[in-house]
Structure 1
Amino acid sequence: MAVEGAGPARPRHRADAWAARLLTFSAGAVNALGFLALGGVFTSVVTANSALTGVALGGAETTLGVRAALAVLCYVLGAGTAAAPTGAVGPAAPRAAGDGGVGDRTRGTAAGGRGPTPGTAPPARMTSSGPGGGAMAETGTTAVLALLPEAEPLLELAAGVDARAVRPGVPAHAALLYPWLAADRVDEPALRRLRVALPQGRIEAELTAVEHEGGFVGVPVPGLSAAATAVRAAFPEKVPYGGRFGTDPPVHVTVALGAAPEAAAGIARRTAARLPLTARISALHVVALGPTGWRALAELPLVRRPA
């Protein structure tokens, strides 16, 4: 799922809508033809067939009732036969923690309350075994990030080349500080300390370059560097990514991660063709990893303080 309150998820492909319309039309047509061919028995409206069976038990329309009862029995047998091989009978299995939440576009999450690391991926000077290569975040972890809706077309472009390299529903973002505090320690004093460190006024960040290494494609966001440095300086005890990339690593938005090398090269070329872009950031966001994924904790507007 997308971060709650963090903006809309990317729209589904138009083909999905047409497929739904065709399936709806075909289901209605089959039901209408079946009703006529079976002498008043429905092929899919099980409630109506149950009612006809009850009428038959009352002594009226016995023949129709028998047909309706057979239709209900066939429906139950068909549903059970179809569900058994897939293991769909019974409660649905819970999703892995962090699945679909804000974070790195890794291909899965580990069990035991772990989820993908937000905004981490290996730029050219970072090794592919860094956080973006599979490091997982503990439940209760928080991050300070900026949403970049202007970069959404880049993620849609990447998904069109290799859907596995982009997490569906995850908004384009850049992490300024990860990890931050434990979620239960994000209180008003902590948020006030964070607000004091924020720059004054909206940030305009130019996205002009592409970083590509292996299956990773990213776009640096140098316009957020000053804000990231200020946030990190306000919490020196919280070193980004545990210090694996230094105390003040560059800020970027991940376009694709874990793509096949050939697909990543194509994504990088197409991304470069879409640049430059200008991102306008008027607020930062604090998100936390919960049992069902990343959720928004606070929005911090970048307002100008009165002189």
Structure 2
Amino acid sequence: MATAEAVDPLVEHWRQRFDPCASAGIPAHVTVLFPFLDSDRISSAVIDDLRTLIGEHSPFAVRFDEFRRFPGVLYLAPEPEQPLRALTETIWARWPEAPPYDGQFAEVIPHLTLASSQQVHELDEVERALATQLPATATISSVTLFESDGKHWSRRADFPLLG
């Protein structure tokens, strides 16, 4: 995932309250590819390939100034989104057996999830609270591989964008 930790102080309270990924250890981020490979398949060769592939991309700045929604999800849309799409496409091309979101969606939409709730008023509350604090910006200079033990997520490796 492309971590957007500069945005974390702005959104952390709401993510802790309404995004289960936050309480499981994942910082504010834009997902690059999920799910990836099972942990037992992530060898040193996979790590090396990721380092090379991601390292070919240059760091970039993103701006978050627009709220959008999926059913039951409030998110911030990153602009530009093309560098994030390019990262996804690069990694997916190398591991076609790991399509984004298990191939559930025809189009992958880069996003920073703020809240997940079936209660529209909760999503509205988060949006109202954050609206006056936008825009937010972040420099994406690395991609982090997280792995789960079934309850919590932890960083396995960081891959700098070197360009």
Q: TM over 0.5, yes or no?
A: yes
1:194 partnered with 2:50: yes
51, 66, 83: which is aligned to 1:209? Answer: 66
Deviations 1:152-177 (A, max 9, x none): 13423526xxx641344541112111
Inter-partner Cα distance in structure 2 for 1:157 and 1:290: 24
User: What is the correspondence of 1:55-134 to structure 2 with a 5 Å cutoff?
Assistant: none
Q: Structure 1, unaligned stretches of length 5 or more?
A: 1-144
Computed over aligned residues only, the root mean square deviation of the Cα atoms, in angstroms, reads 2.3
Larger strand fraction of residues: 2
SS in 2 for 1:236: coil
Q: Calculate the TM-score normalised by the size of structure 2.
A: 0.81
Alignment of 1:1-307 (within 5 A): 145-156=1-12, 158=14, 164-166=17-19, 167-168=22-23, 170-198=26-54, 199-213=56-70, 215-221=72-78, 222=81, 223-246=83-106, 248-258=107-117, 260-304=119-163
Query: 1:76-120 CA distances to partner (integer Å, 9 max, x unpaired)?
Result: xxxxxxxxxxxxxxxxxxxxxxxxxxxxxxxxxxxxxxxxxxxxx
Which structure's relative contact order is higher, taking Cα pairs within 8 Å and 6+ residues apart? 2
Structure 2, unpaired ranges of 5+: none
Separation of aligned partners in 2, 1:243 and 1:236: 10
Larger Cα-atom Rg: 1
The Cα shift of 1:272 comes to 3.3
TM-aligned CA distance change 1:272 to 1:233, over 3 Å: farther
Asked if the contact 1:212–1:265 (Cα under 8 Å) also holds between the matched residues in 2, the reply is no
TM-score using structure 1 length = 0.46
Kindly state the Cα deviation for residue 292 of structure 1 after the two structures are TM-superposed: 4.7
Q: Partner letter of residue 63 of structure 2?
A: E
What secondary structure, in the 3-state scheme, does the structure 1 residue paired with 2:57 have?
coil
Which residue identity is paired with 2:53? A
Q: In structure 2, what residue type is equivalent to 1:263?
A: E
Q: Secondary structure at the match of 1:274?
A: coil
Change (3 A) 1:208 1:232: farther
Percent of aligned positions that are identical: 26
SS at match of 1:209: strand
Distance 1:154 1:213, change over 3 A: farther
